[in-house]
Structures are given as C-alpha cells and as structure tokens.
Structure 1
C-alpha cells in the first residue's frame, strides 16, 4: 500500500511540474513577444499584441484547470470537478497556444489516427509539452519548432525538433527533472524515448497503439 501511495505521489509531482513549467514558460514567452510587438507598433492596440496577450491569459486559465484537476485527485472536496486528461488530441491546441512572434511552431500529422491506451495517450501529450517548453526556455529566439505525429499500424511516433535558434540561452544539457520523468512516463506506457542534440534538439517518442477490439 505504501509503495502505491509513493508512486502516485511521484506521478502527481511529475504532472504538477509539467503543467506549471510549461504554462509559465509559454506565458513568459508570449508576454515577451507581445512587448516586442507593442514596442515596434505605431499603435499599442495592435491585433498581434492583443492576440499574444490573449494567449497569455488562456495559458494561465489552462494551468489553473490542470492544477484543479490534480488537487481533485489528491482528494480536496472543494476542488472543481476533474477535468479531462490531455492526450494526443490536445497537441494541436498546445501548439497553437505556444506560438508567438518569436517562436514559430508547426504541427504535421501523418497517417490515420489510432486508439491509444490512456497512459500512452497522456505520454504523447507530455512529450510535446516538455519538448516545446525546453525549446522555448533554452533556445535563443527567433526559433522554429517542428512537431510531428506519425501514425502507423502498431505505433505512433511523436517528434519535436527545434532549429537551434540563435544559440543556447542557458546550457546544452536538458536532462532536467521534467525530461527524466518523461523517460519513465514513456517507458511505463510501453514506449521508448530518444533525445539527441543535432543542430538543435530532437525529442522522439515511439508509443504503442491499442489492438482493435
């Protein structure tokens, strides 16, 4: 029983890290982009700046929804009802909200979508979330980030790669808490994760699809 409780606490800790880290990183990037756009515009009320600030607000709302969901999991009776867990279908929304004037993020989907087990579904989303967060946080903009979802008969391949921008903002070692937790999450879902430094960083996960019933 104690082992199960410890595992659940570790899982919730990883989820909290993913939600807070990604959301705050995107909010900071959007705010910086809005500042640049507003500062270079004749009008302070430009549509580009308005859109960037709206993304900041929506990212904050998304973070609050995620946090409420986890508090509910911990058994707080005053928490809001449990929100649906993000999965592969939520990747497009993540990419849309993370785009900014300084970070161009494109999503490419190939093949016919298949059914994923719940743990693989969540892992697919977390792979993109963590990789995009790292690219925004550690790569000097302007940065291009390509996200790929490729469906095969027995697996789905999730790839996130950045172009290296104008170099590293911090350090070239991205083996932080989030990425270590991601390796374990993908492994538990029956998949494998590969992270390597090319011109920029490339994160690639292979996750199994469920057999048709």
Structure 2
C-alpha cells in the first residue's frame, strides 16, 4: 500500500430551523440601533423642535386651521414614533405617515411635517423595508388627494374649498424626491457593504492560504526528517550491542536530521509569529538535492539523480515546490517501499519543469498506507503553480511520482529550448 489514501472527514451539518431567530416583518430589525444600542433621542428632539417651530411660521399666510393643541399633539406623535426608526423602521414609517395624514385631513397648515415623513421613509428603505415605505407613502399621498379634492366638504375648516392641483404636484414631487433619494442611499450602502464583505473575504482567503502553505511546509519538513530518524533509530537499536560503531553512526544521523528539522520548523514558526516579515533564511530549492540524497543514504536508500535540458534559473515558488515534491516522494519510498533504491530525474524544458521519482517496489511488508497528506500536499503545491502531479504504480513494477510545474519569468512563459543532456549520479 502507498501513501495514497486521503481521509476525508465529513462534518454533519444541521440546517437551522426556518423560524429560528426570525422576527415579525412589521417589526423590522434590531440592527442599526445607533451607538451603543441607544434610541436616537437627540436627533428626534431636534427634529421635533424644527417641525413645531417651522409649522408655526408656515401657518401664517396659508389660511389653514390654526395650530391648536390637537395639531401640536399630532406633530409630536409624527416625530416621536421616529424614536424606534432604528429598531422598528416599519413601525416608524407607518406611524409617522398615519399621524401626518390625520394632521393634513384636519386642515392644519403644511410645513416641516414632511421632513418627519422623509426621515421615516429613509430609515425603512435603507434598512431594506422598501415595500413598507412605498405603501406608507402611497397611502399618505392617496389619503391627502382624497381629502383635498373630495372629502373637504366634511372636513375642517368650515367653508374650505378644494386644494389647487399645483399644490398636489408639489406634494407628489416631494414624495418622489424622498423615495429617489432614499433608494440612492440604499444602493450606495449596499455597494459599500458588498465591497467591505469582499475585502473581508479576500483577507480570509489570504489567511487560509497562508495557513495551508505553512501546514504543507511543516508536513514536508517533519515527515521527511522523522522518517529518517525513525529508520536510523531502528538501525541503532538493532546494532547497539553487535556493532556499536554503526549504532553511533545512526545516532549521529538522527542528531543531524533532527537539528535540520528543528531549524526549518523554527523558520516556519517565526514567519507565523511575524506575518509579513521576510524570512531570514532562503527557501530550499533544487540546489539542495545533494542534501536530500545524503539524508536518504543515511536512511539506507540509494538515490540516483539525473538532469536533462538546459538548467536555468527557476522562480523561487517553483523551486521550493520542486524541492518539496522530491523530498516527499523520497520520504514515501523510505516509509512505504521495500526497495532500497530510487531514481530522480529533473527535466528542464524551458517553459516547464518535469520531475520523475521512481522506485522498484514492492510495498513494504505490513505497510497499511499513510494518511494521504503527502500526495495531497504535492498535488496542492503543483496546482498552486498551474502544474500537475501523477502518482501510481509503474507498468513494469514499482512506483512513480511524476510532477510537471510551469516556469514563468517576468516576461511571461519562457520558450522551450532543447540542448544536450547531462547525467549525474550520486
């Protein structure tokens, strides 16, 4: 068995109840209650003062019913209901429009009461209750039209005539302006919210990608080094009495591998603690293949390395991915193969880099397979660069890992080049 089986755990997902956390639609939402969740007392009191004083000024010269106690009470009611405009915007817009309609039907003068209607409408539309705002404004306009042109005979003041249609044009224009401005503000706020959500999602994706990268680094470093340590520990235990010198060599290898692993783990953890800082040590690349060969030899694996094509500078990301793929492939041979030899080929193709890691097999006796993270990590590294990794048994026996990684330069994809082949054996 090989390191091919990925454990995919499924976390059961329970759908929330359709009624969970829902509020009656006419109540609106608790969102946007203002700073600290307090009622907007100050702005409402200021609005009430403006409406009362402005209406007294507007009453002169309109020939309407004098503003008495009932009129003032209706004006206060039209403004007071706006106290709940953040908590219950539907109640606010419906209440202020109803109080305003009664106020107008009783023949009181026009004035800043329409400002209260505008505030209620803005609160409802911006919070997403557009239909409630439209219905409230529509009923206000229809009720005013009916009272001003058909019911005026039975409504105060006595002897009043129908309202001029020019006045209705002004009221209609005012309502249309309120709705248009509120809708414009709603659209802008939705755009701001969408942009903010996209920034937050991008930040989460970046953080997730960084965590995944570090997890792959830690897995590759630890899996390779611990595999070497495990093999050498077994050798040391077996030869401790019969061949102390060979056991000493195994312990020396364990010390060297553990020291290197600690250094690389420390480097990854330092970058985790100080995000955004440049790493203090260069990332490993294919120039460190001889070190991998030495570590594999210490674990009892003879590795042959061959290269072909023109060796060119490899981008850092591709270089690191290539090194980790070869490292993981050799780790799998040490852990899961009965073969004590492996063959590594690095093919430079100009626009791409091809890696082949072969062993003669068969699977080690009693091997039950790995967790699957090794092959998954190799595929993720290659896919992040637009490449692929294929792993599986060879036709003639044994196992092969084949990885293809595109190479990009600052000027785009380099053109393929073919030159003489060079072979090196370690």
TM-score bucket of the superposed structures, by smaller chain = 0.7 to 0.9
Superposed CA deviations along residues 35-74 of structure 1, whole A, max 9, x for unmatched, are: 4566654xx225xx54443322211111011111111111
Question: Which structure 2 residues correspond to residues 130-141 of structure 1 after superposition, within 5 A?
Answer: 130-140=328-338
- Name the structure 2 match of 1:170: 367
Superposed CA deviations along residues 126-170 of structure 1, whole A, max 9, x for unmatched, are: 111111111111123x52111111222222211111111574441
What's the secondary structure of 2:403's corresponding residue?
strand
Deviation at 1:206, TM superposition (A): 1.4
| Contact 1:139/1:169 (8 A) holds in 2 | no
| Contact 1:33/1:52 (8 A) holds in 2 | yes
Distance 2:363 2:336 in 1: 11
Deviation at 1:112, TM superposition (A): 2.5
| Contact 1:33/1:100 (8 A) holds in 2 | no
Question: Which structure 2 residues correspond to residues 56-135 of structure 1 after superposition, within 5 A?
Answer: 56-75=254-273, 82-100=280-298, 102-135=300-333
Q: 1:149 to 1:175 in 2, by over 3 A?
A: farther
Q: 1:39 to 1:147 in 2, by over 3 A?
A: farther
Deviation at 1:76, TM superposition (A): 5.3
Q: 1:28 to 1:100 in 2, by over 3 A?
A: same
What's the secondary structure of 2:358's corresponding residue?
strand
- Name the structure 2 match of 1:12: 214
Tell me the TM-score normalised to structure 2 length: 0.44
Distance 2:400 2:223 in 1: 19
Q: Report how many aligned residue pairs link the two structures.
A: 204
Tell me the TM-score normalised to structure 1 length: 0.84
1:45 to 220, 245, 248: 245
Q: Which has the higher contact order (CA 8 A, sep 6+)?
A: 1
RMSD between aligned residues? 2.5
Q: 1:12 to 1:211 in 2, by over 3 A?
A: closer
Deviation at 1:210, TM superposition (A): 3.6
| Contact 1:27/1:60 (8 A) holds in 2 | yes
Question: Which structure 2 residues correspond to residues 23-38 of structure 1 after superposition, within 5 A?
Answer: 23-36=225-238
Superposed CA deviations along residues 90-130 of structure 1, whole A, max 9, x for unmatched, are: 12211111213632222222333112222211110011111
| Contact 2:299/2:334 (8 A) holds in 1 | no
Deviation at 1:83, TM superposition (A): 2.1
Deviation at 1:174, TM superposition (A): 5.7
| Contact 1:138/1:169 (8 A) holds in 2 | no
1:146 to 343, 364, 367: 343
- The more displaced of 192-201 and 25-34 is 25-34
| Contact 2:315/2:409 (8 A) holds in 1 | no
Which 5+ residue runs of structure 1 have no aligned equivalent? none
Distance 2:287 2:225 in 1: 18
- The more displaced of 32-41 and 66-75 is 32-41
- The more displaced of 125-134 and 160-169 is 160-169
Q: Does 1:155 align with 2:352?
A: yes
- Name the structure 1 match of 2:387: 191
Distance 1:164 1:132 in 2: 13
